[in-house]
Chains A and B, each alone.
Chain A
Amino acid sequence: MGKYLHVFLIGIQNTLVYRVNFLFRAAAGLIPLSGTLYLWKAVYAGKTDGADVAGYALSQMISYYLIVTLVDAFTAVAEDDWQIAADIKDGHISQFLVRPISYLAYRFSLYLSGRAIYTVVALIPVGLFLFFLREHLSLPASPFTFFAFTLSVVLAGLLQFIIACMMALLAFWVLDVSTFIFIQFAFEYIASGHLFPLDILPRWLEQIILLTPYPYLLYFPVAVWLGRVEGDDLTRGLLIQGAWVVVGYLLLQWIWGRGIRRYSAVGG
């Protein structure tokens, strides 16, 4: 465990170099967000007598996007998938195979350090943005809701890391993984609820999407925060989320095992 803590600390130091980059990225990401919020405001302005959209009042809709931004800052992979793919392609993983350290655990430590720095840096622009829109921001109804939200963000982070790893491990089989990562990301972008809350979709489509792991990356934690998932639904949701993490982890280990057998350390 100590060695991974060490990796984490080194990761913190290395990532600090990118702090300006992170700041810029977090701030730039607010531009499309502001556009989306203006679009929704115009939608609600066009509605008569304060009607809502699929049970979302304007404030809740805005809160939804704000919490998505927050969860995304906590969990999104930054460069991890590209770096893993590059490590495989350039043969850098060889050194891990001969040492008593697990490459994936090593990457996970780096992911954690990257997220820690990113969250702290992103807190400046995102915090200002949230403050600016504070009248629309709804807070968790109770400490318990907040606890459940935190738990589901942790699970979402694990799931996010596992999915990113799986895509990166494609590098064992194909030369250029970037297109696959982007295609996967397009699906993730819509099915995780990044673009809009999933329950404004037609019911059948929402049900199909809920069968995939994607909603548990963003939509579910955000729904927990907003109090749209409660009681038994909340317990069941967390269990499903946990189950996806376990399934994902096992699948990742299996893919890693297969990949390693194929790996021939080109140029390593």
Chain B
Amino acid sequence: MPSWWRRYPALFVALWRYSITREMQFKTNFILWIIVEGLWFALQIGFMSVVYSHTEAIAGWSRWQVILLVGCSHFIQQIFTAFFLTNLSDISEHIRTGRLDFMLLLPVNTRFLISFRKVDLGAFINAASAVGVIIWALRNLGHVPRPTEILGFLLLSGAGLAIHYSLMFLLASVAFFTVRAQGIVWGYYNLFNLARIPEGAFPPGIYRRVFTFVLPMILVSNVPSQVLLGTLHSPFNAFVLTALSLVTFLISEAVWRFCLRRYSSASA
């Protein structure tokens, strides 16, 4: 009987404890980073507010619906930041410095260790502020989501999170082939910007298809938002989002294994 189901949660807790200890050494910095993220979040809401001061609706989305969308997108992005962003952008460093060799020798799943090494606690506070904005928007819309809608929102946000994770992991694996992969990982950050635009704004065509079926940025926060708002008319997009979360994960796992097999250490 493998004991992994007890070992991995324990390992996860240990990694968390380490992260908390480390972050609390730099309290001012910790607070300043929360301010930075909060400012950028306010900036996005401000942008949408300015746009809506010149229009009533964008592709069928009202002002508060879009603010909810921005909130939802920020929520997913911050949860992603909390768990994965630093860890995934560190991968190229692990390879460059040879730390990966050390991690490969440890008696745990290397992908697990790499993915969950550090936790960014400040991002949870930012995620909470995003939830605040979502609730604020819902109140202004006079919409009270049913429990099933909330559950659907959380599950589909999870699928969106999984897609971000898998795609960025996939990109980070490029570090096996070139040393300067960090830029690629940060390039991914640009994609987050597409997620807070109402899906109806993208006309049918190749662009829309790429960002729906290959890099599903149009779906990741639009679909959870629509579920929460009760405006998701066909379940097709929800199905695509869920299916893609599995597909991208499987692809990233396959590529990761392939890379590890042809990996021959940094110092060799």
26 contacts between A and B (CB under 8 A): A21-B180, A21-B183, A24-B183, A29-B190, A31-B191, A32-B190, A36-B197, A38-B197, A38-B203, A39-B201, A42-B59, A43-B54, A45-B59, A46-B58, A47-B55, A176-B26, A176-B29, A179-B36, A180-B32, A183-B35, A186-B36, A186-B40, A190-B46, A190-B47, A200-B50, A200-B54
From A29, A39, A180, B51 is in contact (CB under 8 Å) with: A39
Interface residues of B (CB under 8 A from A): 26, 29, 32-33, 35-36, 39-40, 43, 46-47, 50-51, 53-59, 180, 183-184, 187, 190-191, 193-194, 197-198, 200-203, 207
A31 to B183, CA, bound (A): 15
Q: Is the CB of B190 within 8 A of A31?
A: yes
Contact with B along A4-43 (1 / 0, CB 8 A): 0000000000000000110011001101101110111111
Q: Given A38-B201, A39-B51, list of 9 further CB < 8 A pairs?
A: A20-B180, A24-B184, A31-B191, A36-B193, A45-B59, A179-B36, A183-B36, A186-B36, A186-B39
Q: Is the CB of A38 within 8 A of B202?
A: yes
A183 to B40, CA, bound (A): 9
Q: Which residues of the partner chain A approach B55 to less than 8 Å between Cβ atoms? A: 43, 46-47, 53
A15 nearest CB across to chain B (Å): 14
Q: 9 smallest A-B Cβ distances: which pairs?
A: A32-B193, A42-B201, A179-B32, A28-B187, A186-B39, A182-B36, A35-B194, A42-B59, A53-B54
B18 nearest CB across to chain A (Å): 21
Give the interface size bracket for A toward B.
35 or more
A265 interface residue, CB < 8 Å from B? Answer: no
Q: Which residues of the partner chain A approach B201 to less than 8 Å between Cβ atoms? A: 38-39, 41-42
A195 to B50, CA, bound (A): 10
Q: Is the CB of B197 within 8 A of A179?
A: no
Q: Is the CB of A196 within 8 A of B51?
A: yes
Secondary structure type dominating chain B contacts: helix
Secondary structure type dominating chain A contacts: helix
Q: Is the CB of B58 within 8 A of A31?
A: no
**Nearest-neighbor residue (CB-CB) of B32 within chain A:** A179
**Nearest-neighbor residue (CB-CB) of B218 within chain A:** A35
Q: Which residues of the partner chain A approach B47 to less than 8 Å between Cβ atoms? A: 190, 195-196
Q: Is the CB of A39 within 8 A of B187?
A: no
A40 to B198, CA, bound (A): 11
Q: Is the CB of A28 within 8 A of B190?
A: yes
Q: Which of A29-87 contact B (CB under 8 A)?
A: 29, 31-32, 34-36, 38-43, 45-47, 53-54
Interface residues of A (CB under 8 A from B): 20-21, 24-25, 28-29, 31-32, 34-36, 38-43, 45-47, 53-54, 176, 179-180, 182-183, 186, 189-190, 195-196, 200-202
Q: Which residues of the partner chain A approach B193 to less than 8 Å between Cβ atoms? A: 31-32, 35-36
A25 to B188, CA, bound (A): 10
**Nearest-neighbor residue (CB-CB) of B55 within chain A:** A43
A44 to B197, CA, bound (A): 15
Q: Is the CB of A46 within 8 A of B57?
A: yes
Q: Which residues of the partner chain A approach B56 to less than 8 Å between Cβ atoms? A: 46
A182 to B43, CA, bound (A): 13
A32 to B54, CA, bound (A): 21
**Nearest-neighbor residue (CB-CB) of B191 within chain A:** A31
A176 to B187, CA, bound (A): 24
A215 nearest CB across to chain B (Å): 15
A161 nearest CB across to chain B (Å): 23
A35 to B36, CA, bound (A): 23
A35 to B43, CA, bound (A): 16
A181 nearest CB across to chain B (Å): 9
**Nearest-neighbor residue (CB-CB) of B184 within chain A:** A24
A184 nearest CB across to chain B (Å): 10
B203 nearest CB across to chain A (Å): 8
A52 nearest CB across to chain B (Å): 9
A118 nearest CB across to chain B (Å): 13
Q: Which residues of the partner chain A approach B46 to less than 8 Å between Cβ atoms? A: 190
Q: Which residues of the partner chain A approach B43 to less than 8 Å between Cβ atoms? A: 186, 189-190, 195
A85 nearest CB across to chain B (Å): 14
